[in-house]
Amino acid sequence: MTKHMILRTITRSQLHRPVLLPALLCLMLAQAVHAQGLTVPGASRSSPSLSASPLTGSPLGAPLAPPMTGAPSAAVQATQPAATAPSAAKPSPAAGTRAKPAPVDSIVAVVNNEVITHQDLEGRIKLVEQRMKAQGVSMPPVEQFRKQLLERMIVDKAQLQLAKETGITVDDLFLDKAVARIAEQNKLSVQELRNQLEKDGTPFAVFREGIREEVIMQRLREREVDNKIQISESEIDAVLASSAASGTTKQSEVNIAQVLVRIPENASPEQIAQRRQRADEALQQLRAGAEFGKVAAAYSDAVEGLRGGELGWRSQDRLPQLFVEAISDRKPGDITVVKSANGFHILKFLGRRDAPATTSSSAFPAVQQTHVRHILIKVNQVMSAAEARRKLLDLKERLQNKTAKFEDLAKVYSNDLSASRGGDLGWIYPGDTVPEFERVMNSLKPGEISDPVESQFGQHLIEVIERKTDDVSRERQRMAARQVVRDRKLEEATEDWLRQIRDRAYVEYRADDVSAG
């Protein structure tokens, strides 16, 4: 495998941001996460602030794997577990009086062949309530909130099932490093982080598994959405022409909040009418003076709904064109409604500000390049992933003990064509490599060697040699413009993909008070 075999034309920029502790209580609800030993970004791609969520998140891919349809499995249909009998060692409250049975968990929804229980739902409600309180977002009516949150859990469950079917996993070692990184960012030890979480009512095991699920869903979205967005050369030309035409004028950024009422795929006229009515209900509440964040938490199907619906400050070229046109003549505080293929969007224009002035020559700023080398061990029938990891850990130990040189080990052990060069991949631009490789590479300091990193090519041991900044060439300007187009398309593509995931899942509600509205 040559350097160019692992290069990608472009990938979204990797932002390395600190995680704020109050937001850790809602990891399993955020939409995007960065991975092994890396900075876990604050919120999804569209999140307004670092405190919104410590994991991402955050959004037309090729056809999905065949959905699991039909009735749920026999395991799901089984009766609820019997109540635990009172201990014989404890006397009954009164002679001749039957002891009250211990409460048992119940099923509130079936998603394909798995269930969401009452305990699952109540636990998620508690976590989200804590986060909304920390962010100052008012709670919506309880029953609306329960239904909305259950729908979010159904979509998450369907994503995790698809990830499992297609072999996406996160091992415990990977997870331990992610937890350690979060603790470090909050200037805590892992034990101190654990104590803080449990003091706030979040079991550490729940927190840890929430990270695992978010990483899995992020990897799934990268494969099913990010890597399949199509960008034409004419779209890139349009961005470059717009940048050149702007000259030295300041570029504006806008902040928008939205309530998305999603329309099912291939919806009937009756279904569309029902969703329109739901959007009208939300709009009426807003026009009557209701708090936008509260309405978003109760009605929005978008990933940012449970954090108030705010998208955050963005340049207009990174927003869907539909949104840009809708707010072009609006004043801060104005509310408008637009319809897309994904549903009805209630948009609130929060404000506009000037971004730093740029000239056409600096519209695409200098970028950082990384000089990197690696040792690749491919995984196959002879070499398992676990054996490859052990081998690379042995090699890392030799390097740390200074009993061998990286280039010598690469020439002997690496399965990559770069082995003849001592594993040297040369100078790498952002977006040149697959996301898993780039995230870890970006987290390393010059001279630092990573732990084994898994990618579609196998297991890597990565060393950063040095870094530099470089003025953007014409080729790199086109790559930057491509990223602008990708960012613009990404959110809409993710919403469309999540809608497909939800519509293709078999869902059965087992509790009347949480059935879909």
Q: How far is residue 445 from each of residues 200, 213, 411, 449, measured CA to CA in Å?
A: 34, 28, 23, 8
- So what's the pLDDT on residue 26? 41
- So what's the pLDDT on residue 265? 80
Res. 97: pLDDT tops 60: no
Q: Is residue 97 part of a domain?
A: no
> Are residue 387 and residue 454 in the same domain, yes or no?
yes
Task: Extract the tokens encoding 515.
Answer: 């059935």
> Are residue 348 and residue 491 in the same domain, yes or no?
yes
Lowest mean pLDDT among 106-115, 149-158, 245-254, 259-268: 245-254
| Dihedrals phi, psi of 313, to nearest 5 degrees | -70, 130
Q: What percent of the chain stands above pLDDT 90?
A: 31
Q: Is residue 131 part of a domain?
A: no
Lowest mean pLDDT among 193-207, 328-342, 503-517: 503-517
- Check if the beta carbon of residue 447 is closer than 8 Å to that of residue 464: yes
* Rounded Cα distance, 389 and 394, in Å: 9
- Check if the beta carbon of residue 41 is closer than 8 Å to that of residue 305: no
Q: Is residue 137 part of a domain?
A: no
Question: What DSSP element (H or E) covers 464?
Answer: strand 458-470
Report residue 452's pLDDT band, with 50, 70 and 90 as the boundaries.
very high
- Check if the beta carbon of residue 207 is closer than 8 Å to that of residue 197: yes
Q: What is the rounded average pLDDT of the residues 224-244?
A: 83
Residues 275-281: contacts with CB within 8 Å, 24+ apart? 275/343, 275/344, 276/344, 278/517, 279/337, 279/343, 279/344, 279/346
Report residue 25's pLDDT band, with 50, 70 and 90 as the boundaries.
very low
Question: Which residue did the predictor score with more confidence, 285 or 85?
Answer: 285
- 428 pairs with which residues across the strands? 370
- Check if the beta carbon of residue 422 is closer than 8 Å to that of residue 372: no
**What is the longest distance spanned by two Cα atoms in the chain?**
89
Domain that residue 345 falls in? 239-360+477-511
Task: Extract the tokens encoding 177.
Answer: 């490093």
Q: Is residue 167 part of a domain?
A: yes
> Are residue 275 and residue 410 in the same domain, yes or no?
no
- So what's the pLDDT on residue 61? 32
Report residue 514's pLDDT band, with 50, 70 and 90 as the boundaries.
low
Q: Which of 360, 488, 492, 367 has its CA nearest to residue 431? A: 367
> Are residue 284 and residue 375 in the same domain, yes or no?
no
DSSP one-letter code for 198? H
Task: Extract the tokens encoding 318.
Answer: 């990174």
- Mapping DSSP onto H, E and C, the string for 27-72 reads HHHCCECCCCCCCCCCCCCCCCCHHHCCCCECCCCCCCCCCCCCCC
| Greatest mean pLDDT range, 2-16, 327-341, 395-409 | 395-409
Report residue 150's pLDDT band, with 50, 70 and 90 as the boundaries.
very high
> Are residue 285 and residue 391 in the same domain, yes or no?
no
- So what's the pLDDT on residue 153? 93
CATH number at residue 213: 1.10.4030
- Summary mean pLDDT of the chain: 76
CATH number at residue 388: 3.10.50.40
- Check if the beta carbon of residue 315 is closer than 8 Å to that of residue 324: no
Res. 28: pLDDT tops 60: no
Q: Considering its fold, how many domains does the chain have in total?
A: 3
- Check if the beta carbon of residue 304 is closer than 8 Å to that of residue 311: yes
> Are residue 155 and residue 30 in the same domain, yes or no?
yes
- So what's the pLDDT on residue 292? 92
Q: ∠ CA 31-37-38 to the nearest 5 degrees? A: 50
- So what's the pLDDT on residue 56? 32
> Are residue 216 and residue 246 in the same domain, yes or no?
no
- So what's the pLDDT on residue 441? 94
* Rounded Cα distance, 160 and 64, in Å: 13
* Rounded Cα distance, 188 and 203, in Å: 17
> Are residue 202 and residue 258 in the same domain, yes or no?
no
* Per-residue pLDDT tens over the stretch 245-266: 655 445 678 899 999 998 988 8
- So what's the pLDDT on residue 396? 95
Q: What is the rounded average pLDDT of the residues 223-236?
A: 86
- Check if the beta carbon of residue 437 is closer than 8 Å to that of residue 429: no
Exposed / middle / buried, residue 311 (Cβ in 10 Å: 0-12, 13-18, 19+): buried
* Rounded Cα distance, 44 and 266, in Å: 28
Res. 15: pLDDT tops 50: no
- Check if the beta carbon of residue 53 is closer than 8 Å to that of residue 41: no
Q: Which of 62, 44, 46, 64 has its CA nearest to residue 54? A: 44
Res. 95: pLDDT tops 80: no
- So what's the pLDDT on residue 320? 82
Q: Is residue 74 part of a domain?
A: no
> Are residue 333 and residue 413 in the same domain, yes or no?
no
Q: Which of 464, 461, 426 has its CA nearest to residue 447? A: 464
- So what's the pLDDT on residue 246? 57
Task: Extract the tokens encoding 201.
Answer: 């009512």
> Are residue 206 and residue 344 in the same domain, yes or no?
no
Question: Which residue did the predictor score with more confidence, 305 or 4?
Answer: 305
> Are residue 342 and residue 415 in the same domain, yes or no?
no
- Check if the beta carbon of residue 338 is closer than 8 Å to that of residue 326: yes
Task: Extract the tokens encoding 489.
Answer: 């398309």
Task: Extract the tokens encoding 248.
Answer: 């030295």
Lowest mean pLDDT among 117-131, 243-257, 262-276, 485-499: 243-257
Report residue 388's pLDDT band, with 50, 70 and 90 as the boundaries.
very high
Report strand pairing: 107-111 vs 114-117. antiparallel
Res. 155: pLDDT tops 80: yes
* Rounded Cα distance, 252 and 301, in Å: 28
Lowest mean pLDDT among 89-103, 125-139, 195-209, 413-427: 89-103
> Are residue 198 and residue 248 in the same domain, yes or no?
no
Q: What is the CA radius of gyration of the chain?
A: 25
Whether pTM exceeds 0.75: no
Res. 282: pLDDT tops 60: yes
